[in-house]
Amino acid sequence: MRYRFLGSSGLLISRITLGTMTFGAPDWGCNEQEAHAILKRFLDGGGNLIDAADVYAGGRAEEIIGAFLQEIPREQVVLASKC
């Protein structure tokens, strides 16, 4: 995985961001178990930047991410969220 600094903040982020728009979307997305597997695989591959928004799957995506974050050291992830 390649990384870059986020502006002048000193925060090192992966150059690939994992989008979570499909997490918890009942008709065309993935369920919580599948989303957690995707998140784990992304982190195992060296990624650390996760994109979320309060509107993804009606807020369900952020709930799924929140449950996953309880299982890992929080400093492993940079979470970018929009509202």
Buried/exposed 60-82: b ≥16 CB within 10 Å, e otherwise: bbbebbeebeeeeeeeebbeeee
3-state DSSP call for residue 47?
A: coil
Options 14, 56, 57, 68, the catalytic residue:
56
Q: Is 56 tagged catalytic? A: yes
The catalytic residues are 56
